Amino acid sequence: MTVEIICVGTEILLGNIVNTNAAYLAGKCADLGLVNYYQSVVGDNAERLTESLKLAAGRSDIVILSGGLGPTEDDLTKEVAAEFAGKALVMNEECRDRIRTYFEARKMDISENNWKQAMIPEDAVIFQNNNGTAPGMAIETEMVKMILLPGPPNELIPMFEESVVPYLKQFTPGVIESQIVKICGASESRVETMLKDLIDRQSNPTIATYAKTGEVHIRVTAMAPNKKEAAKLLKPVVKEIKSRFGNDIYTTEPDVTLEKAVVDLLIANNMTFTCAESCTGGMLSARLISVPGVSEVYKAGFITYSNKAKRKLLGVKKLTLEKYGAVSSQTAKEMAKGLLADSKCDVGVAITGLAGPDGGTKEKPVGLVYIACSVRGEITVKECHFRGNRDKIRESAVSYALMLTRSCLLEYISKVTFGKK
Amino acid sequence: MTVEIICVGTEILLGNIVNTNAAYLAGKCADLGLVNYYQSVVGDNAERLTESLKLAAGRSDIVILSGGLGPTEDDLTKEVAAEFAGKALVMNEECRDRIRTYFEARKMDISENNWKQAMIPEDAVIFQNNNGTAPGMAIETEMVKMILLPGPPNELIPMFEESVVPYLKQFTPGVIESQIVKICGASESRVETMLKDLIDRQSNPTIATYAKTGEVHIRVTAMAPNKKEAAKLLKPVVKEIKSRFGNDIYTTEPDVTLEKAVVDLLIANNMTFTCAESCTGGMLSARLISVPGVSEVYKAGFITYSNKAKRKLLGVKKLTLEKYGAVSSQTAKEMAKGLLADSKCDVGVAITGLAGPDGGTKEKPVGLVYIACSVRGEITVKECHFRGNRDKIRESAVSYALMLTRSCLLEYISKVTFGKK
């Protein structure tokens, strides 16, 4: 079964609001195994809405429309859909009563136009609205099933969960299950090249890659009559991907971010973390502290933006700064060393670089960043060259620092485990 | 001129990402005076993309496509658009060189598929990408102008501002001039109420409000035959808005963020800044350090996440933490005091709060944040109650801290200026 999403609202066309309804509805439909090939947005205009509805009904089995169910003249989704289906609008007593109760409970006057919301196309399946006055509905014709939902997300979402999911389940052929594999430290094109043979012969499951800053996510998706069969299809493909990328895979959990993977690794090994940031100015700390429960491993950190701060707070030598400059592997190393000396943490990361836009030279161009990671005194320093504007360079540096922390930690743990230390 | 937006990407159809590009592009087109009647989303599929492109080209003058310009086989927006326009793809030397430079600077290997991004339809106008490898382009036919942009927002947005806006301006009727007025410390509904009479009788210029975290931006837009006439229309309306909001307006410059306004105020008054962050964990520093030139005023900062760090680095008393707790106005005040005592900075901000999801109690619920600002020893402490998830609470706290810093600074400066000190 295919499903298509039409969001109605001039405010979306003007860019005044971000269309989160489409993302929500698409995600839910994917979970139900409905295939979504098209989404569209039209304004509160009868002619263009009719045109879009015709197009959608001609190519999809189910059309979900959100928005335009309000009480004003602007709101015409229901009128357009009823007209298209050739159904008359009739006053629905239950809806009428619910609207009356809604207003009475709030001690508000009912305007005449509010009753418009109780007019329902004949034979429609009604989805009651527990968070507002506009009922949702399904209008069925031989050609298409149209599902009309109110636009406000705090009405649409509960209505979808409570009423639309049960309604839609009668049409779903099976399930779609996805497995995510998240990789750090490899470019998207490299990941694709390494997966080319699998991607070339894919049909079910399918494999898709998505690039994030410093990361690539691989999504493997299987369609099957039930969850168990879907899992069976996914398993060998995910296993093969795991064998190809090994330790570069930091998680296969959808909710786990790279910062959470690092925090989890620290917690599992009972290690504490600290950092000193220059050009990134707190972004690494901010990402780590976005993880609930980070307090077990992260106690304190430093923003050492000036040379003086690097000397005073981290004990970087004046001579080092003078001889090699603040943006140098020597300074990064001393920053990491000083961090651990004073804080008694197990792991310390220092970042120093040139984020621009000014201050670059031929020898030290904008985008040059040194990142040092010390795990119990064993220091690794990396020289990186990032591109883009100030924000992009800083964001890349933070992603790289997380990746470096993870790889240094894994190396240290494996050494300890295999008794080489 | 009408414009239509097509976003390409299976990840949008699966609901994996929210389509912020469409909102961004729609807003920008509205600012340029281009009329947007339709937006749509299709997956990485040649047939369906071709169908959508045909439909759009038949009803709109300009079609903007985002996504599908990557190096992989999935990425086929350029191929489909070139085919539709009847243009051959040819290797572009400049694009090829830029890709080579990009990878060489990163000391990364170039996979064969990367060169695909240097293949450009003949006669296309190229928009260089300063933040990635995929160039954008405009393909012009008699029927339609197609603008192809990379999908990642950190590539699409700068490319649009730098290259696409100047390109599109040739097609806009007369000029559209906007003036932004940025306000901090007032809710959108309060701003709307204070502007209701102006909004009700608006036609040209128009007035629109946009809510950001902790801020409201008012955009006044005039359409006129030339810049001079447009400026004449804008002037009295902006003047009236300024008189209504006074000091709550932190800038009327489009590029000035709240953090830049604070940094500029510090520079203008020759004052240095430092901060100590608990729940925000570096986010305030990161926002300030995003401003180029911040090194004049910001030298060092602290992430004091644990109680021990608050004591050791800021000198908060053990008794204060025991008696009032880490999240209290007393602790915030001592943090700010300790900050300035040691650092010899002029302005210090301390943030301590409960960002959740756990750790809330009836007396101290999740969302409770104390922010203290000290200007040369005069300390102001504010108790805030923010709503939303962990990220949203932390973001709100940072915005509020910037707003508080600005208002404390303005008050101090005005006192000094009027000789009350």
Contacts of A30 in chain B (CB under 8 A): 13-15
Using CA atoms, how far residue B417 sits from B59, B268, B347, B354, B412, in Å, is: 61, 14, 18, 38, 9
Whether domain A175-251 has CATH 2.40.50.140: the reply is no
Total Cβ atoms within 10 A of residue B410:
14
Contacts of B308 in chain A (CB under 8 A): 299-300
- Classify A64 as helix, strand or coil: strand
Using CA atoms, how far residue A242 sits from A1, A237, A276, in Å, is: 32, 9, 34
pLDDT in the model for residue B306: 96
* B72 to A189: CB separation less than 8 angstroms, yes or no: yes
Q: A335 and A316 in contact (C-beta within 8 Å)?
A: yes
Q: Please state the domain extents for chain A.
A: 2-169, 175-251, 258-417
pLDDT tens across the length of chain A (421 residues): 999 999 999 889 988 889 999 999 998 998 787 899 999 999 989 999 999 999 999 999 999 999 999 887 778 999 999 999 999 999 999 999 999 988 887 777 887 888 999 999 999 999 999 888 899 999 999 999 999 999 989 899 999 999 999 999 888 877 778 899 999 988 888 998 999 999 888 889 989 888 888 999 998 988 888 889 999 999 999 999 999 999 999 999 988 999 999 999 999 999 999 999 999 999 999 999 999 999 999 999 999 999 999 999 999 999 999 999 999 999 999 999 999 998 889 999 999 999 999 999 999 999 999 999 999 999 999 999 998 899 999 999 999 999 999 999 999 999 988 765 4
* pLDDT of residue B182 exceeding 70: yes
Class of domain A258-417: alpha beta
pLDDT in the model for residue B177: 84
Contacts of A300 in chain B (CB under 8 A): 302-306, 308-309, 312-313
The residue with greater pLDDT, B183 or A114, is B183
| Nearest residue, CB atoms, B11 vs list A17, A210, A285 | A210
Using CA atoms, how far residue A123 sits from A71, B225, B267, in Å, is: 21, 54, 69
CA–CA distance, B239 with B221 (Å, rounded to integer): 14
Q: A120 and A90 in contact (C-beta within 8 Å)?
A: yes
Q: Does A2 touch chain B (CB under 8 A)?
A: no
- A73's CB contacts (< 8 A; 6+ apart) are A113
The arithmetic mean of pLDDT across residues B222-251, rounded, is: 94
- The DSSP code for B42 is E
pLDDT in the model for residue A417: 84
The arithmetic mean of pLDDT across residues B174-179, rounded, is: 82
ipTM higher than the 0.85 cut: no
* B19 to A18: CB separation less than 8 angstroms, yes or no: yes
Question: Which residues are A40's β-sheet partners?
Answer: A6, B40
Q: Of B381, B409, B421, B419, which Cα lies nearest the Cα of B271?
A: B409
Tell me whether strands A2-8 and A273-277 are parallel, antiparallel or unpaired.
unpaired
Size of interface A-B (CB pairs under 8 A): 264
Sequence-ordered alpha helix ranges (H) in B269-389 = 283-289, 307-314, 318-324, 329-343
* B130 to A301: CB separation less than 8 angstroms, yes or no: no
Contacts of B309 in chain A (CB under 8 A): 299-300
The arithmetic mean of pLDDT across residues B53-58, rounded, is: 97
A354, B287, B289, B328: CA torsion to nearest 10: -130
Q: B329 and B353 in contact (C-beta within 8 Å)?
A: no
Q: Any idea what the Cα angle at residue A239 is, between residues A233 and A245, rounded to 5°? A: 140
The arithmetic mean of pLDDT across residues B111-124, rounded, is: 93
* B30 to A14: CB separation less than 8 angstroms, yes or no: yes
Distance of CA B361 to the CA centre of its chain: 34
* B26 to A42: CB separation less than 8 angstroms, yes or no: no
pLDDT in the model for residue A112: 81
- Whether A2-169 shares its CATH topology with A175-251 is answered no
* pLDDT of residue B49 exceeding 90: yes
Q: What length does chain B have?
A: 421
User: A10 is written with which tokens?
Assistant: 């001039």
Mutate to test the interface with A, among B8, B53, B305 (most CBs of A within 10 A): B305
Tell me whether strands A136-140 and A145-149 are parallel, antiparallel or unpaired.
antiparallel
pLDDT in the model for residue B420: 55
Mean per-residue pLDDT over chain B, rounded: 93
Sequence-ordered alpha helix ranges (H) in A130-256 = 153-159, 165-169, 188-200, 227-245
* B41 to A42: CB separation less than 8 angstroms, yes or no: no
Mutate to test the interface with A, among B2, B4, B37 (most CBs of A within 10 A): B37
Closest A-chain CA to B23:
A15
Q: Does A284 touch chain B (CB under 8 A)?
A: yes
Q: A394 and A250 in contact (C-beta within 8 Å)?
A: no
* B358 to A17: CB separation less than 8 angstroms, yes or no: no
Q: B4 and B64 in contact (C-beta within 8 Å)?
A: yes
pLDDT in the model for residue A329: 98
The residue with greater pLDDT, A102 or B239, is B239
- Classify A251 as helix, strand or coil: strand
Burial (CB < 10 A; 0-12, 13-18, 19+), residue A329, is: middle
Q: Does A309 touch chain B (CB under 8 A)?
A: yes
Class of domain A2-169: alpha beta
* pLDDT of residue B173 exceeding 80: no
Q: How confident is the model at residue B175 (pLDDT cuts 50, 70, 90)?
A: confident
